[in-house]
Amino acid sequence: MGWWEDAGFDVLVDEAPRDWLARAEPPVARPVVAVPQPAAAPVPAVPIRPEAPAPAAEPGLPDTLAGFQSWLATSDAISMPLSARVAASGDPASGLMVLIDLPEAEDPASGRLLSGAAGELFDKMLAAMGRDRQSLYLSAMAPGRPTGGFVDRAQGALFARLARHHVALAKPRALLLMGEQPSRIFLDLGFVEARGRVHDVSLPGGAVGAVATFHPRTLLQHPQQKRRAWEDLQLLMKHLG
């Protein structure tokens, strides 16, 4: 657990909504002060929308996990080179799926997600949980690394649809959403707002419990947030039992 021992609790982060997978601005430290805000509708209790039916399975996409994995790796419906794509890894039967926004710059060359410094930190986070990469299923919402790390709105809409289908096929018992965009797509909340509780995400076949936390790249930039991330991982472990 040494990855978070140097961290504190006294810095807040704020990542404003932006284009789907655009790299977020670094969180900004700010004092906790009372600021008048315009009246807003209260955030409903979890589950977010219990009255909403589970979405239907996506038409036109493979209906098995193995078939969908192959489709992601080869389909020309995805406008990015095959060489830029990085497959999901780990054990889909583990019960835990981890979702990030997109591969890191070095991932296509290495052939695996989170292969650089962010990956080293990710592995330490898993070790603190008593896990490794073989005891979960790791995927990115974007099937590969887009040019410049930027996904436009049209691509983003497609990748959101694919990510929902991917999670529905994997059927995890728990979903760890790392970073802003996975949280917004699955919870309709930024991850800062979504942290601290388990959300029910409706999928074809049933609901899955989801926990939002920091992406490892954000923790590298803002190590004072590591302890908050550890709180999120503890919440996830409690949910998994």
Residue 19, pLDDT > 80, answer no
Q: Is residue 226 part of a domain?
A: yes
Average pLDDT over residues 146-158: 90
Q: Is residue 42 part of a domain?
A: no
Q: Is residue 157 part of a domain?
A: yes
Q: Is residue 51 part of a domain?
A: no
Summarize pLDDT for 24-79 with one digit per residue, the tens: 444 444 444 444 444 444 434 334 333 344 445 566 899 999 999 999 999 999 99
Number of domains in the chain: 1
Structural domain range at position 214: 63-240
pLDDT computed for residue 10 by the predictor: 33
Nearest to 138 by CA among 204, 94, 76, 191: 94
Q: Is residue 88 part of a domain?
A: yes
Asked if 7 and 224 count as a contact pair (C-beta separation under 8 A), the reply is yes
Average pLDDT over residues 163-176: 97
Q: 10 Å Cβ neighbour count for 111?
A: 11
Q: Is residue 11 part of a domain?
A: no
- Residue type at position 104: E
Summarize pLDDT for 203-233 with one digit per residue, the tens: 988 899 999 999 999 999 999 999 999 999 9
Residue 101, pLDDT > 80, answer yes
User: How many Å apart are CA 58 and CA 96, to the nearest integer?
Assistant: 22
Q: Is residue 52 part of a domain?
A: no
pLDDT computed for residue 105 by the predictor: 95
* CATH number of the domain where residue 147 is located: 3.40.470.10
Beta strands 199-203 and 206-213, pairing class: antiparallel
